[in-house]
Structure 1
Amino acid sequence: MSKDTLRRLPLLPLRGLLVYPTMVLHLDVGRDKSVQALERAMVDDHEIFLATQKELSIDEPDEGDIFSVGTLAKVNQMLKLPNGTIRVLVEGLQRGKIQVFEDKEEYFEVEVELLEERQEATVEEQAIMRNVLDQFEQYIQISKKISHETFASVSDIVEPGRLADIICSHLPLKIAQKQEILETGSVKDRLTKVLQILSNEKEVLGLEKKIGQRVKKSMEKTQKEYYLREQMKAIQKELGDKDGKEGEIQELRKKIAVANMPESVEEKCLKELARYEKMPATSAESSVIRNYVEWLVQIPWDKETEDMLDIHRTEKILDEDHYGLEKVKERVLEYLAVQQLTKELKGPILCLAGPPGVGKTSLARSIARSLGRTFVRISLGGVRDEAEIRGHRRTYVGAMPGRVIQGMKKAGTVNPVFLLDEIDKMASDFRGDPSSAMLEVLDPEQNNTFSDHFIEEPYDLSKVMFVTTANNIGAIPAPLMDRMEVIHIAGYTEVEKLQIAKEYLLPKQMKEHGLTKGMLQVKDEAILKVVRYYTREAGVRNLERQMATICRKAAKLIVSNEKKRVIVTDKTVEDLLGKPRFRYGKAESENQVGAATGLAYTTAGGDTLTIEVSLSPGKGKLILTGKLGEVMKESAQAAFSYIRSKSEELSIDPDFHEKNDIHIHVPEGAVPKDGPSAGITMATALISALTGKAVRREVGMTGEITLRGRVLPIGGLKEKSMSAHRAGLTHIIMPKDNEKDLEDIPDSVRQDLTFIPVSHLDEVLEEALVVNKK
């Protein structure tokens, strides 16, 4: 190494830039050390060493942050800019490698070994140069970023090293690649590397061009579609469809995306939407498809309310809303307990059966509130068409889903409490059997794939808690009945009615009529009088009406300034409600011959029924009146046959049937009556008439009779007992097989009544006929 090849020069570190020998370019210099290095170069012979930083982000580089190979350059021009930076024009002269690096505080100074380079090319290098120029020319043609004048000036270069440097300076290479070329001392190796770089760049440009063409085609297609859509909008506007369908379709698409439908349903929905999009707005089918898609997105598919799994809270809410009804409340709490343990349970299907006005519908609403679920109710009274349940086919004009799917849409969740009101009032005709359509809805094993004719896709109802109500479970078809868990709700006792009126009905009516506790006070004895003399029902609907009447009368008295405060006692009830409508206790005032009191079970609850028998001279005709059903007529015939077979034992003339016409009558002849429980009552009244022995007035009886005099069990003992209690009876003759039902009778009723279980008619006569009692 000679002293001529070693030079001591100030160093200017470059960021994101590299200068090759023979290159002339402008640099902007702003860092203090770089400015000081420039000033030092200007003081000496205008020469400076340019080396590139390894990392662009370093502001204060050190020896290890700068490449060791750089370029000796001459500063031809220097200009200070207003912002404080200096713009310099430099010209690259020769490669150099840093041997000694010195930090002089103000600037960096380096000792550089200058690297000599051959100017003449060998034959092999000339061949490589030609290849490089060919590749460069092809690159320029593909790239179109470098002018042909540049290629012309480059093609005149005869020095191989210089050619490699100039071509590299025009290529979009990373600093690391440019530095690699700068550090390559062998001219042949440098040319070979440039040839490889040009080949790679050419391939990349070719791929870029292909991608660009593909993107352009895609853009052209999109623009074409946009243009056609705009045309379609204009045509639709001219045809009267002012807003066009585009916005509506986009809106529906968004709704489909957030509806979380099952995959098959979403696929069907999008397919129908695509059909709707292509269909003219004036087409009749267009509105049908749109209606279908809107129904699909409005039905809940996965939105679910979280059950409030707190048994104590639920019990408190049920007790707040309803007095008594222990069995129903117990069933709801059992469901909740199991739900809490299993975390998942198919919704039960409860059937609340009982007379009108006992709170079946409001109880279902309370169940929903206690569970924290949404509540939805549909009434099935008078539904005759199967399509009301399953929906219409979409081919029909005005088609829509059935009431079940409509109810789910209204609920907005997949697990509401769904009340099917009056399920016993459905009827069948030529339009189908809706009760059969309900089988799938109410079957826990099938309703997870409920099929609606309009929706056409399976819908999951398994999380729904179905509650049905019925007055007469006998009117419900057996297969449908089999799918429900029946909970009987009997009527209320006087004590229960008193509590219900005090705690629920009266406060509710006072609030609705704008009355406060300071304006109206109703005493307990007044409410009891209303219950006894102004209502006769199993439920409390009429009782609520009477409470409303009291509130209206009180409101009038207060507003007309007649009274500031109304206090209702048992003595002032008549002033507000008028004369009593009913006689409390329908029991006979004295013992009657040929008249017995029976107990009946109707859809309105229990009731008492007086059966009268009269004898007149005749030829043994048996006349039945009172609009009796077939079962009651057969009971009368059975009783008649039994008495004929036992006439001697009963001390009755054996020829009574040949000498007398017997007339059996049940009062209130306009009311249809039927059922199996009047057998012993008819037999007792008939025997009383034939023997002249009176029937005890305080005795009520219920039970079916056989030809041999056996007493068979009946249903509805609880309701019948309550009606007997209401009517003022004190003794009830009942079938012995019904003793197990005594537990269901409220304590307040059971304490006031004496129950006499019997298994044969002889026992009935012993208890019922006065003469037999000593």
Structure 2
Amino acid sequence: MSDIIQHLPAIALRGTTILPDMIVHFDVSREKSIKAIEKAMVQDQKVFLITQKDPETEEPAQEDLYRIGTIAEIKQLVKTKKNLIQVLVEGEKRGELLRFDENSLYLEAEVALFEEEEEEPEGNVKEAMLRGIKELFVRYCNENPKLSKDLAGQILELEEVQKVIDQIAINLPMKYEDKQRILEAVSLEERYEVLGSILCNEIEIMQIRMDLNSKVKERVDKNQRDYILREQLKVIREELGDQDTLSEADQFKEQVAKLKASKEVKEKINREIERFKNAAGMQAEAGVIRSYIETLLSLPWDKVSRDNRNLKKAQKILEEDHYGLEKVKERIMEFLAVRTLTKKGESPILCLAGPPGTGKTSIARSVARALDKEYVRMSLGGVRDEAEIRGHRRTYIGAMPGRIANGLIQAGVKNPLMLLDEIDKVSSDYKGDTSSALLEVLDSEQNKKFRDHYVEIPLDLSEVLFIATANDLQTIPRPLLDRMEIIEISSYTQNEKEHIAKEHLIPKQMKAHGIKEGQLTISDEALKEIIAGYTKEAGVRGLERKLGEICRKTARRILEDKEETVCVDKENLESFLGRARYTYQMKNKTDEVGIVRGLAWTSVGGDTLQIEVNLMPGKGEFLLTGQLGDVMKESAQTGISYIRSVAGEYGIKPEFFQKHDLHIHIPEGAVPKDGPSAGITMATAMLSAITNTPVKANVAMTGEITLRGRVLPIGGLKEKLLAAKNAGMKKVLIPFENQADVEELDEEITGGMKIVPVKTMKEVLKHALA
């Protein structure tokens, strides 16, 4: 750098750098820059051009500019429009910016000039530099075909290192930062190194770009080739008539993309879709694969519905739908409370057990409504093939998924309420054990990965709320019963039946038969008579049928006789339903010898059994009549053995049993009777006949007897006590161990009767004999 310092008008350039010997034009729009050009034109047309570090800066200070710039001569000015001038300049020398004069209207720079360029290197150094820079330039030209060949030829013809370097720097398309680096390289050696570095970098970038372009081209070529082949294949398939298979496969692919399922499930379905594509032309195989894919796409793999967590709303729905059934409602509310607290909770497997018509199936539907769950009912009555539960293997013709998988498809979510109706009526044959197949379904440890033979992919049943119904728990295999939580639904009382009829059955039947509110009224006395005289059942199914019969006759009267309102009372009930069919066998009016009232459980509720014993001279024969089952016959044998063992205590002579015949009869001989709860009743009747002691007419009893006279517990106590109440009994003898069952019963059942727990036969006789 020389000691010569000049004061020149300066222009700050944005995004461009001008080198010495470079002729270039640029636009000027800033006011200060225009003033600087005007000042230069007045003087010697010299201007100092210096580049901004940040092109976005509007009013650059000294620190915003590079240190080295170019002194240039203005060759031409063209004013294109207001506040815009196009300037043509030629770079002359490098200069270093010392400072700006900030007081003037334009930028006035104090510039230190650089001395003239050093001389060309000589000898081998010059040749080495010349060959090196030209070689890099040739490589650059080979990689960049856009560069003018004439220009490249002219540069390569030059034999001076300085001119070659300057011409390459001037004519090469490069960023202004790179040109600034060349400008700041004052010595020839520095410029050689900087330009060589820039050329090497550009060559490498262009090579990488070419590699990427070739890869992209290869991929595009492959895609183009695949497209052409697919189009040809499509034409071939159209000729063969297989176009439907291809379009179906594409539809399946779209459905898989939208399916809520795990990666493994989607991979399995995609493999089957590929098989389906390849099976085009083989209609039978394609049909089988199509059915399988449609089944997999229909299953709700990860699709769930949101359960209701509002306990008050659930309680309200359960109360609206069913009268009574407190245990069931309480258990469902407990489940809902646990589910709300844990956010998930394992779904219990409930089994509602009770007589027909007590509302077990409708309870399940009501629970589904209370929990906002999808409801699926599956009837298992008469199912004997294991494949009904697990599905058929796909190797069989006509294979299909099992009922569980079909239930999930029907529900559309993986967490429905699934009702297994009549689970006590499944059976087995040579095709497999159905109840054993249900073990995996109802075991919370196994059903997380339930494997349907047809689906093959494990299904998650852990979020399904299973509710089973059964009439008789005795027929359910023990392992299956062990996996379920049993909720007993016993017979309805008279009062409960009245409430159910008023709140549910009558409105339901009126709506079903098109009868508007107010057109039919049924009095309370008539309703009681219908329940007592026209139905004999544990539930309310028969009662509903009788109410339906009344509604049908009412509809006819409204249309034929033009009656506006129909009132059914006790007096005109026969005109609607005919004569009463049932009467309760009331208690005997007087105490009698050898006649005892026993209590029995039947499938339609409780009933009383009048056991009669007659004593006749004979040879010690023992007769049993009235269609008694083996258990009752054995109870009678046990009873007579007990009586003979204590004969001395009641003054019975030993030879009495050899000289008299004993005949036990239970009326209604056409009705089969069996069960383990008539032991104490028959023993009391026999002892009454033998000792000629009357039995109290207002006492009923139930319980099994042992050879030593102990009284064993029985089942169905609620139904038996209901029967005793209906028969007008005042005292009922029950086994001592059944006391806990009595505590669970309502006052409505036990009110007006004295319930006496007994441990031994002596206590029974003490209360029963007059």
TM-score for the superposition, normalised by structure 2: 0.89
The equivalent of 2:70 in structure 1 is 71
Deviation, structure 1 residue 83: 8.5
Match of 1:225 in 2: 226
| Alignment-mate amino acid for residue 221 of structure 1 | K
CA distance in 1, matches of 2:536, 2:261: 53
* Percent of matched pairs sharing the same residue: 47
1:561 and 1:82 map into 2 onto residues whose CA distance is 104
Q: SS of 1:583's equivalent?
A: coil
Query: Secondary structure of the equivalent of 1:212?
Result: helix
- The correspondence of residues 106-185 of structure 1 with structure 2, limited to 5 A, is 107-118=106-117, 120-123=119-122, 124-185=125-186
Q: Choose 233-242 or 10-19, whichever is displaced more.
A: 233-242
User: Map of 1:568-583 to 2, 5 A cutoff?
Assistant: 568-583=568-583
Q: 1:125 to 1:581 in 2, by over 3 A?
A: farther
Q: Residues 66 and 546 (structure 1 numbering): CA distance in 2 closer, same or farther, change over 3 Å?
A: same
Structure 1 residues 44 and 572 mapped into 2: Cα distance closer, same or farther (>3 Å)? farther
Distance in 1 (CA, whole Å) between partners of 2:80 and 2:410 is 74
- Residue 189 of structure 1 corresponds to 190
Contact 1:615–1:663 (CA under 8 A) maintained in structure 2: no
Quote the offset at 1:761 in angstroms.
Answer: 4.5
State the distance in 1 between where 2:178 and 2:106 align: 28
What is the Cα deviation at residue 641 of structure 1?
4.9
Amino acid at match of 2:563: K
TM superposition shift of 1:453? 2.0
Amino acid at match of 1:25: V
Matched to 1:328, the amino acid is V
SS across alignment from 1:317: helix
**How far does residue 387 in structure 1 lie from its aligned partner after superposition?**
1.3
Contact 2:392-2:402 at 8 Å conserved across structures: yes
- The amino acid across from 2:91 in the alignment is G
Whole-angstrom distance in 2 between the partners of 1:210 and 1:625:
105
Q: Which runs of 5+ in 2 are unaligned?
A: none
| Match in the other structure for 2:204 | 203
Change (3 A) 1:410 1:661: same
Q: Secondary structure at the match of 2:429?
A: coil
Q: Which segment drifts farther, 463-472 or 395-404?
A: 395-404
- In the alignment, what sits opposite 1:18? 17
Structure 1 residue 655: Cα displacement = 6.5
Residue 483 (structure 2) aligns with? 483
User: How far apart in 1 are the matches of 2:222 and 2:590?
Assistant: 102
Provide the residue aligned with 1:408 in structure 2: 408
* C-alpha distance in 2 between matches for 1:614 and 1:706: 23
| 1:60-459 pair list within 5 angstroms | 60-81=59-80, 85-103=84-102, 107-118=106-117, 120-123=119-122, 124-245=125-246, 248-249=249-250, 251-252=252-253, 255=256, 258-261=259-262, 264-280=264-280, 282=282, 284-459=284-459
User: Residue 451 of structure 1: SS of its match in structure 2?
Assistant: coil
**Higher mean displacement: 296-305 or 412-421:** 296-305
Kindly provide the amino acid, as one letter, of the partner of residue 718 in structure 2. Answer: K
1:213 alignment partner AA: S
Distance in 2 between the 1:31 and 1:277 partners? Answer: 69
**Post-superposition shift, 1:493?**
0.8
In the alignment, residue 378 of structure 2 is paired with which amino acid? Answer: I
- Write the deviation string for residues 197-246 of structure 1: whole angstroms up to 9, x where unpaired: 21222222222222222222222222233333333333333333434536
1:504-526 CA-to-partner distances (Å, cap 9, x unmatched) read 32333344445554444433333
Q: Using the TM superposition, give the Cα deviation of residue 629 of structure 1 relative to its aligned residue in structure 2, in angstroms.
A: 3.3
1:722 and 1:134, CA in 2 relative to 1: closer, same or farther beyond 3 A? same
Residues 237 and 244, structure 1, Cα contact 8 Å, conserved in 2? no
Does the CA contact (< 8 Å) of 2:23 and 2:88 recur in 1?
yes
What SS does the aligned partner of 1:499 have? Answer: helix
Contact 2:355 2:471 in 1 (8 A): yes
Deviation at 1:193, TM superposition (A): 1.5
User: In structure 2, how many angstroms separate the alpha carbons of the residues matched to 1:170 and 1:322?
Assistant: 95
Give the Cα–Cα distance (whole angstroms) in 2 for the partners of residues 16 and 265 of structure 1: 57
Q: 1:656 to 1:232 in 2, by over 3 A?
A: farther
Task: From the superposition, tell whether residues 170 and 472 of structure 1 become closer, same or farther in structure 2 (CA, over 3 Å).
Answer: farther
Could you say which residue in structure 2 is the equivalent of 1:54?
A: 53
Please state how far the C-alpha of 1:385 moved relative to its aligned partner.
0.9
| 1:190 Cα deviation from its structure 2 partner | 0.3
The AA in structure 1 aligned to 2:460 is: D
Counterpart-to-counterpart distance in 2, 1:466 and 1:577: 40
Compared CA separation, residues 353 and 104, structure 1 to 2 (3 A): same
TM-fit CA distance, 1:307: 4.6
Query: Per the alignment, do residues 596 and 429 of structure 1 end up closer, same or farther by CA in structure 2, a change over 3 Å counting?
Result: farther
Say which SS state the counterpart of residue 459 (structure 1) adopts.
coil
Of residues 554-563 and 375-384 in structure 1, the stretch that sits farther from structure 2 once superposed is 554-563
Contact 2:253 2:270 survives alignment (8 Å): no
Moved more, 277-286 or 448-457: 277-286
Instruction: Report the 3-state secondary structure (helix = DSSP H, G, I; strand = E; otherwise coil) of the residue aligned with 1:352.
Output: strand
Counterpart-to-counterpart distance in 1, 2:256 and 2:658 = 81
Distance in 2 (CA, whole Å) between partners of 1:167 and 1:361 is: 94
- Give the conservation status (yes or no) of the 8 Å contact 2:621–2:660: no
Q: Tell me, yes or no, if the aligned pair for 1:354 and 1:605 is still in contact at 8 Å.
A: no
Superposition pairs of residues 315-714 of structure 1, within 5 angstroms: 315-559=315-559, 562-585=562-585, 587=587, 596-611=596-611, 624=624, 626-639=626-639, 641=641, 649=650, 662=663, 664=665, 666-667=667-668, 669=670, 671-684=671-684, 698-714=698-714
Query: C-alpha distance in 2, partners of 1:224/1:366?
Result: 61
Distance across 1 between alignment mates of 2:412 and 2:744: 39
Separation in 2, partners of 1:590, 1:83: 133
Deviation string for 1:259-300 (max 9, x for gaps)?
242x54454444444444444363544444444444444433
Alpha-carbon spacing, 1:395–1:614, altered in 2? closer, same or farther (3 Å): farther
Distance 2:234 2:259 in 1: 27
Report the aligned-residue RMSD.
3.5
Distance 1:172 1:728, change over 3 A: farther
1:325 and 1:427 mapped to 2: Cα distance? 30
Range with bigger deviation, 56-65 or 643-652: 643-652
Q: What TM-score does the superposition give when structure 1 sets the normalisation length?
A: 0.88
- Contact kept? 2:13, 2:50, Cα under 8 Å: yes
Report the alpha carbon displacement of residue 476 of structure 1 after superposing the two structures with TM.
0.6
CA distance in 1, matches of 2:116, 2:274: 72
Q: Secondary structure at the match of 2:432?
A: coil
Distance 1:613 1:224 in 2: 102
* Cα deviation, residue 128, structure 1: 1.3
Amino acid at match of 2:54: E
**Aligned-pair CA distance for 1:564:** 3.0
Name the SS of the counterpart of 1:101 in structure 2.
strand
Whole-Å separation in 1 of the counterparts to 2:392 and 2:170? 78
Query: Is contact 1:49-1:72 (8 Å) kept?
Result: yes
Q: In the alignment, is the contact (CA less than 8 A) between 2:620 and 2:658 conserved in 1?
A: yes
Find the residue that maps to 1:458 and give its secondary structure: coil
Q: How many residues align?
A: 767
1:371, CA displacement in angstroms? 3.3
The letter for the 2-side match of 1:329 is K
Distance in 1, matches of 2:509 and 2:25, equals: 95
Q: Which amino acid in 2 is paired with 1:365?
A: R
Q: Tell me the secondary structure at the aligned position of residue 51 of structure 1.
A: strand
Structure 1 range deviating more: 135-144 or 329-338: 329-338
SS of residue in 2 equivalent to 1:323: coil
Q: What's the CA shift for 1:60? A: 3.4
* Separation in structure 2 between the aligned mates of residue 307 and residue 455 of structure 1, nearest angstrom: 27
> Take 2:319 and 2:260, find their aligned partners in 1: how far apart are those partners?
38
Provide closer, same or farther for how the CA distance between residues 19 and 252 of structure 1 changes in structure 2, counting only shifts above 3 A. Answer: same
Unaligned runs of 5+ in 1: none
CA 216–330 in structure 1, closer or farther in 2 if over 3 Å, else same = same
Partner of 1:726: 726
Distance (whole Å) between structure 1 residues aligned to residue 25 and residue 673 of structure 2: 116
For residues 405 and 650 of structure 1, what CA distance do their matches in structure 2 show?
Answer: 71
**Distance in 2 between residues matched to 1:245 and 1:507, nearest whole Å:** 56
Q: 1:72 to 1:537 in 2, by over 3 A?
A: same
Query: In the alignment, residue 299 of structure 1 is paired with which amino acid?
Result: L
